[in-house]
Structure 1
């Protein structure tokens, strides 16, 4: 059994976070981290070992959930905080009443869901810790349908291996943010399409109207400002072909903690 500190962190997780923090010392923001060769080499070397160890040892174990008394006064946002794309500003101006989440690709029944329909779905509420690759953490309460349940409605085809999340924000003025996870992570019971944070609608800074929560990975995997989900066999032909905005710029695809 692994040793854990007062927050429940395993020795392996503590060592990993310490290494990440040391590599990132003096940097601010994921854009600057992506220019740090030492950090990228560290992440790349750890990816295969981390994924194998976590999947073998942890299986479908849940991330630690916390009491309400530990919710952070402010949930610090990561990544984009106020998207300026025409796509996003148009939906925001109408309070997302005409926004829809399109789910397609390798599914039997493509879905087009309004925010009201997503809010009406059976939901899970969980209080978890968000760990950013920059070295900070924050605890918040998230509510939303379990992604696996939503995908089951769409009917996942056997050849689907990855779930790709399409977002409405741009970090470089050209490419829209995107992310991906595999079917194991997608079907984890704590992987949510979160519409609420701390009992209120997710704020713009934290990803309104809908964001991904995949609690056993680092924050850059938790795509914000969602408007589309595509199930694919591979992601070689999507943007840079590495499975995510930051992955295309050198980050590891698997960011388990």
Structure 2
């Protein structure tokens, strides 16, 4: 992780910092996350903010809430970004049956591994929240999300004492890299995993998730940037380390230069 910077009165918040600095990236933003991952000035920007944000949010307390909005604030269009649909036979088969045969696997450092259907997830207590999605490309949208809290799911599985991170293994391949690291994955620490606004969303704006928005299940970790909101979640693995996954940085985009902690 990047160096930790102590907050001082002269430093500005990450949201303002990103907003001011984005103006200098110009046409780079038009290419999306893949182009941004190749821009050294953008990676330097993220690196300079991560340590400060992580430390400040942890000092403020693990349960500080992201802002929630009213139904009147909903965006007329919530952009589909990145993968439009996973290009695998397995996902296509799930889609053909309306995800009736899909299961979420919860394993790793848990007491009782789980295989949960959509019906199982819907039977859990549901949280509904209207929040803003902030993308590193410079756009944002407000949407209404519904699903069980990740904390409730992990409590059902039982968290072993050694666990430190929750890893989300997804159905999509953003690229099929020669080193075998092209499958999308993301991770968060257990503080964010048990945050009351961290949910496994299966509905957006009172409708089942569309394929473009991550059907049948996606992560919402509301205090972090958009690239942390893993879509097409197939498996949640609890682990004590991240360096053995992918390229060792804890997520598809962190493996390609983005910061692992993307707090806002």
| TM-score between the two structures when normalised by the length of structure 1 | 0.93
**Correspondence for 2:226:** 219
* 8 Å contact kept, 2:62–2:191: no
CA deviation digits over 1:47-94, x for unaligned, max 9? 111110122135411110001001011111222122212221121111
Change (3 A) 1:102 1:59: closer
User: Are 1:35 and 2:38 an aligned pair?
Assistant: yes
- 2:160, 2:77 → 1: CA distance? 40
- 1:24, 1:221 → 2: CA distance? 21
- 1:123, 1:74 → 2: CA distance? 24
User: Are 1:136 and 2:143 an aligned pair?
Assistant: no
CA deviation digits over 1:169-189, x for unaligned, max 9? 011134210000000000100
Structure 2 counterpart of 1:68, from 65, 68, 71? 71
* 8 Å contact kept, 1:24–1:135: no
Cα deviation, residue 14, structure 1: 3.7
**Correspondence for 1:256:** 263
Change (3 A) 1:149 1:249: same
CA deviation digits over 1:204-242, x for unaligned, max 9? 110000000000000000100011000000011111110
Moved over 4 A (4+): none
Matched residue of 2:13: which SS? helix
- 2:197, 2:27 → 1: CA distance? 33
Cα deviation, residue 16, structure 1: 2.4
User: Are 1:162 and 2:169 an aligned pair?
Assistant: no
Structure 1 counterpart of 2:210, from 203, 214, 217? 203
User: Are 1:124 and 2:127 an aligned pair?
Assistant: yes
CA deviation digits over 1:118-144, x for unaligned, max 9? 112110000000000111000000000
Cα deviation, residue 25, structure 1: 2.4
| TM-score between the two structures when normalised by the length of structure 2 | 0.90
Matched residue of 1:26: which SS? helix
Cα deviation, residue 17, structure 1: 2.7
> Which residues in structure 2 correspond to 1:1-257 (within 5 Å)?
12-27=13-28, 28-57=31-60, 59-174=62-177, 175-257=182-264
Range 13-22 or range 72-81, more displaced: 13-22
Aligned length: 247
**Correspondence for 2:7:** none
* Gaps in structure 2 of 5+ consecutive residues: 1-11
User: What's the C-alpha RMSD, in Å, of the aligned pairs?
Assistant: 1.3
Cα deviation, residue 22, structure 1: 2.6
* 8 Å contact kept, 2:218–2:233: yes
* 8 Å contact kept, 2:134–2:226: yes
* 8 Å contact kept, 1:123–1:143: yes
